[in-house]
Amino acid sequence: MDEEEEEKALLLRYGEQADIDDRHPLVRTLFIPSPILHNHKLEILTHTIGAVTEPTNDGATSFLVPALEIANSASGRPGMVTYPVHKALMYEEGLKSLGTFATIDAYADQRQDGQMFKGVIDWSWRISQQGTTNLQPVSPVNLALAEAGIDVFRQSLDKSLEYEHLWFDAGMPSISGWLLEGTEAQPGALKPTIRRLIQTICDTASQAVQREEIARLAQEKAETVAASTKEIIDQGISIWAENAHTELRDRLNMAFNSKSWRKTKWWKLFWRVDDVGYIASDILQRAWLVEAEKEMIWISGRIHQSGLLGPLKLRPTQVPNPDDEEATLGSSPRGITVEDIVPEASVADFTEPEIILHPWPQHIALARSLLSVSTIAPLQSLSQALLFQTISTNVFASSLSALLYVSVSTTSLYEAGAIAAVGLVYSLRRLQKRWETARTEWEFQIREEGRRVLRNAEENARGVVREGGMFEVDEVAEAAIQGRVAAKQAVENVQEALDELKD
């Protein structure tokens, strides 16, 4: 028999004649005409397993469900198949693997018995059987004495007394008693071995469910932000809102009283009309919630750091693929331009601004852009239109005055000049009234828009603090919870059935 066949698992089963069946894909089967196997309906699986160095929560399962190596029919690589058993007997020659037996002892302490698994150490000296019981987790044996006793018994039945001494000195009665313990069939009840196996499976399943519950609670606690943290951030938002409103009021007051804004007075439009858009845009960029936007970035960083928001998601950079372009021999690949990285934006993009929570809220930035597009251009256009109307009215009045003075001989110079003066006063008054009204309305609009944006940003931030930081149960987590509930119910049903079958 080659080495590969020796390492293959061997199953001992009752049979009328001793024979080995190698047709089983997992294990070789040896049929033995043994009355003990027949009467107790036993099957013994012998298999080489790796040493277990430290106990785990499902230690009993690691011994009671050994893994058998098989060849994969598709790839030819070895695979593993579990082969559950009712009891596990670990055998070692000498003191080579003390860690395995320490692990068995620990499992026996956890189970408070040694009926499910047992360790056997093959010693080279005689074994004292005084105080030795079947329930000890580790027992010493001397296989050399046991084999000698069997040889003596086979030589002659008259040497049965010598065989008995050798058999007891080898420590085999405790092993045979442990193997047969719990295999007796009882009327109307389960065998103790089967009952213990079912109880072990129930305990292992309960421990696994409990570990999953503890892990879920730990995850929920880790993903849930403390109320004290939320309160601190909420206080920071209140301070930010107060400072932002104060900044909006003070900075705009300073901007509208500045020398730059006074350059847009109605009587200065004749030489400052082209500077209206630049001055208004400069006010928005320098005096409209600049510090509030920076502080909101800092507040958003605290919110994200506390775990109230999900993971940061950024748009991936779009790099052009040279394969998409037609290339000629000797040509160089096209370089990356700004349009490849930053998407082209149009004015329509600002009509329905989309508030982005990552990496920080864009309320103020988008509102500033919207004001720049929707208010500065109309203000600039209005100033040019009013100036053109004023000049046109003055030209028309002056032309009419000159025409009357030339065509009507009775018209004096003062009368003709009065017509020109009336046209000048009317045009300038209209310019003053309409332009100053437009300036006042623009000032009021950006003040109110600033208050509205601050209110929306504050409500959004408070909503994130109030509703964020909670453990969210997704579909996978919900399915896991339902699975644990079903497992608990199944274990309870099995436990109730076992209790009903008790004597």
Angle at which helix 276-287 crosses helix 290-306, to 10 degrees, equals 40
CA distance linking residue 303 with residue 297, whole number of Å: 10
Task: State the burial class of residue 264 (Cβ atoms within 10 Å of its Cβ: 0-12, 13-18, 19+).
Answer: buried
Judge whether 92 and 101 are in contact, CB under 8 Å.
yes
| Residue 427 domain-assigned (yes or no) | yes
Domain endpoint, select from 181, 201, 235: 181
pLDDT at residue 336 in the model:
45
| Residue 320 domain-assigned (yes or no) | no
pLDDT at residue 182 in the model:
77
Q: Are residues 151 and 206 in the same domain?
A: no
Judge whether 20 and 35 are in contact, CB under 8 Å.
no
| Residue 372 domain-assigned (yes or no) | yes
Q: What is the pLDDT of residues 417-469, one digit of tens each?
A: 888 888 889 999 999 999 999 999 999 999 999 999 999 889 888 888 887 66
pLDDT winner (highest mean) among 178-187, 306-315, 480-489: 480-489
Would you list the DSSP string of 324-356? GS---TTPPPPPP-HHHHSPP--GGGGTSPPPP
Q: What is the pLDDT of residues 31-72, one digit of tens each?
A: 888 888 888 888 888 887 654 444 454 555 667 777 777 666
pLDDT at residue 319 in the model:
40
- Residue 140's beta-bridge partner residues? 121
Of 120, 119, 164, 177, residue with least CA distance to 143 = 120
| Residue 14 domain-assigned (yes or no) | no
Q: Are residues 292 and 428 in the same domain?
A: yes
Q: Are residues 357 and 256 in the same domain?
A: yes
Q: What is the pLDDT of residues 230-283, one digit of tens each?
A: 888 888 899 999 999 999 999 999 999 999 999 999 888 889 999 999 999 999
Q: Are residues 478 and 458 in the same domain?
A: no
Tell me how far CA of residue 46 lies from CA of 20, 101, 427, in angstroms: 14, 18, 113
Q: What is the pLDDT of residues 6-35, one digit of tens each?
A: 567 788 888 887 777 766 666 788 888 888
What's the mean per-residue pLDDT of the chain? 76
CA distance linking residue 79 with residue 81, whole number of Å: 7
Q: Are residues 126 and 216 in the same domain?
A: no
Average the pLDDT over 104-133 and give the result. Answer: 61
Q: Are residues 101 and 244 in the same domain?
A: no
pLDDT at 495 over 90: no
Judge whether 111 and 130 are in contact, CB under 8 Å.
no
Q: Which of 184-193, 309-318, 382-391, 435-444 has the lowest mean pLDDT?
A: 309-318
DSSP state of 51: P
| Residue 21 domain-assigned (yes or no) | no
pLDDT at residue 130 in the model:
47
Average the pLDDT over 332-351 and give the result. Answer: 46
Q: Are residues 216 and 278 in the same domain?
A: no
| Residue 59 domain-assigned (yes or no) | yes
| Residue 37 domain-assigned (yes or no) | no
Q: Are residues 249 and 278 in the same domain?
A: yes
Indicate the number of domains in the chain.
Answer: 3
Range of 72's domain? Answer: 49-181
DSSP state of 307: T
Q: Are residues 137 and 171 in the same domain?
A: yes
pLDDT at residue 463 in the model:
82
List, in order, residues 6 or more apart from 497 with CB less than 8 Å away.
none
Q: Are residues 196 and 166 in the same domain?
A: no
| Residue 479 domain-assigned (yes or no) | yes
Q: Are residues 417 and 503 in the same domain?
A: no
Q: Are residues 90 and 217 in the same domain?
A: no
Using pLDDT thresholds of 50, 70 and 90, give the confidence band for residue 483: confident
Strand-by-strand arrangement of the 28-32 sheet: 19-21, 28-32, 10-14, 44-46
pLDDT at residue 333 in the model:
47
